[in-house]
C-alpha cells in the first residue's frame, strides 16, 4: 500500500498501480480544506509501507499548517511508514513560509522530499527534479534512475543550473501572477454564495465548492465547457472526497481569468 490523499493528483493511483502497488486513498473533509487528521490516516495506514502527501497541494491550493504536518508525522512514525513528500510548489506559498515535514523531529530518516523545477521555475516540460532523503535510500534511487531514465539531459541541467542561479527573484517572478490572480478571484467571488472558494494560500489552483448548485463537479464542468467554452477540472477526477467541487487553474492571463471566473459564477448563480 502507498497511501495517497483524497483528493489527490489525478495520475497518482495509476502510476502506483503500474508498479504493482495498491494505492489506498486517505479520506479527507472539505470543511477542513481537505487537510488530513491523524485519525483519518490512522484508519487506513495498517499494513502500509509509505504515505504520500503534497503540500502546497494540487488540486486544492491548500498549504498544510504545522499542526497538520505534525499529525502526518505522528501517523508516519506510529505505522513505521516512509513519508513521500511532494513539495514541488514549495516556492509558491503566499502567506507564511514553506515547512517541510522532513524538518519535524524523527522525520529526516524516513522522509523523501520530491523537488522539481517544473512549477517554481515554470519548466514543466523539462522533467528536472530531485529527491532529498537519507543517503542509503538515495543510493538505491540513483541505481534505479540509472536503469530507467539514465539521467537528466545535459542541456536541461544547464537550464536548471542557470535558473537556480537567478535565485529568489526569478522564483517570485514566476509565482507573482498566481498571488495576483488569487486576489482577483476573491473580488469576483465576493458577495455571492453559489460558488465558495476553499481557503488556499499556495500553488496555482482554486478549489471551488459548487454543491449549492445541485450539480456534481462533473456535471457542472461539462455544462460550463459546452455552454461557455471554459475548461475546469471536476473535483471527482481527484477522488470521491472532492465531489461537488471544481479545480480552477489560475494559468491564463489576468483578464481572461477574471472574465472566465465571472462567467462561471454567473452560471452557478443561474443554477441555484
Shortest Cβ 86–a second copy spacing (Å): 14
The interface region with a second copy, picked from 71-79, 142-150, 184-192, 251-259 by CB under 8 A, is 142-150
Comparing CB distances to a second copy, the nearer of 71 and 233 is 233
CB 212 within 8 A of CB 268: yes
The interface region with a second copy, picked from 91-99, 105-113, 120-128, 168-176 by CB under 8 A, is 120-128
**Member of 127, 173, 187, 228 binding a second copy (CB under 8 A):** 127
**Member of 39, 46, 47, 154 binding a second copy (CB under 8 A):** 154
Interaction between residue 58 and a second copy (CB under 8 A):
no
**Residue 115: its H or E element:** strand 111-116
CB 237 within 8 A of CB 220: no
C-alpha cell at position 41: 490516516
CA dist 223 and 106 (Å) reads 49
C-alpha cell at position 23: 494505492
Shortest Cβ 50–a second copy spacing (Å): 17
Shortest Cβ 120–a second copy spacing (Å): 17
Shortest Cβ 140–a second copy spacing (Å): 10
CB 42 within 8 A of CB 63: no
CA dist 269 and 272 (Å) reads 5
Interaction between residue 158 and a second copy (CB under 8 A):
no
Residue 195, exposed/middle/buried by CB under 10 A (0-12, 13-18, 19+)? buried
**Member of 153, 166, 240, 262 binding a second copy (CB under 8 A):** 153
The interface region with a second copy, picked from 45-53, 85-93, 125-133, 256-264 by CB under 8 A, is 125-133
Specify the DSSP class assigned to residue 104. Answer: S
The interface region with a second copy, picked from 26-34, 151-159, 179-187, 208-216 by CB under 8 A, is 151-159
Interaction between residue 125 and a second copy (CB under 8 A):
yes
Give the distance from CA 56 to its chain's centroid: 6
Per DSSP, which regions of 135-244 are E strands?
Answer: 196-197, 205-209, 233-234
**Residue 161: its H or E element:** helix 154-165
Residues in the chain: 272
Q: What's the longest Cα–Cα distance across the chain?
A: 58
**Member of 146, 172, 256, 272 binding a second copy (CB under 8 A):** 146
The interface region with a second copy, picked from 14-22, 56-64, 84-92, 235-243 by CB under 8 A, is 14-22
**Member of 66, 96, 142, 149 binding a second copy (CB under 8 A):** 149
Q: Which residues bind a second copy (CB under 8 A)?
A: 11, 14-15, 18-20, 125-127, 143-144, 146-150, 153-156
Amino acid at each position: 500500500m502507498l497511501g495517497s490523499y483524497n483528493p489527490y493528483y489525478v495520475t497518482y493511483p495509476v502510476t502506483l498501480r503500474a508498479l504493482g502497488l495498491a494505492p489506498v486513498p486517505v479520506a479527507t473533509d472539505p470543511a477542513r480544506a481537505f487537510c488530513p487528521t491523524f485519525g483519518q490516516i490512522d484508519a487506513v495506514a495498517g499494513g502500509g509501507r509509505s504515505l504520500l502527501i503534497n503540500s502546497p497541494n494540487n488540486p486544492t491550493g491548500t498549504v498544510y499548517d504545522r499542526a497538520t504536518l505534525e499529525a502526518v508525522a505522528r501517523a508516519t512514525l506510529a505505522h513505521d511508514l516512509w513519508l513521500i513528500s511532494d513539495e514541488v510548489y514549495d516556492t509558491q506559498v503566499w502567506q507564511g513560509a514553506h515547512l517541510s515535514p522532513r524538518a519535524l523531529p524523527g522525520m529526516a530518516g524516513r522522509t523523501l522530499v520530491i523537488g522539481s523545477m517544473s512549477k517554481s521555475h515554470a519548466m514543466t516540460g523539462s522533467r528536472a527534479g530531485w529527491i532529498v532523503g537519507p543517503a542509503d535510500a538515495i543510493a538505491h534511487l540513483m541505481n534505479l534512475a540509472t536503469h530507467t531514465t539514465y539521467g537528466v539531459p545535459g542541456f536541461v541541467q544547464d537550464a536548471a543550473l542557470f535558473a537556480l542561479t537567478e535565485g529568489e527573484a526569478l522564483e517570485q517572478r514566476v509565482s507573482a501572477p498566481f498571488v495576483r490572480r488569487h486576489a482577483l478571484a476573491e473580488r469576483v467571488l465576493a458577495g455571492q454564495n453559489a460558488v465558495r472558494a476553499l481557503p488556499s494560500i499556495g500553488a496555482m489552483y482554486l478549489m471551488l465548492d459548487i454543491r449549492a448548485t445541485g450539480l456534481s463537479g462533473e456535471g457542472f464542468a461539462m455544462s460550463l465547457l459546452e455552454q461557455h467554452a471554459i475548461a475546469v477540472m471536476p473535483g471527482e477526477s481527484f477522488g470521491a472526497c472532492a465531489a461537488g467541487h471544481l479545480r480552477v487553474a489560475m494559468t491564463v492571463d489576468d483578464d481572461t481569468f477574471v472574465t472566465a471566473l465571472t462567467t462561471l459564477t454567473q452560471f452557478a448563480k443561474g443554477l441555484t
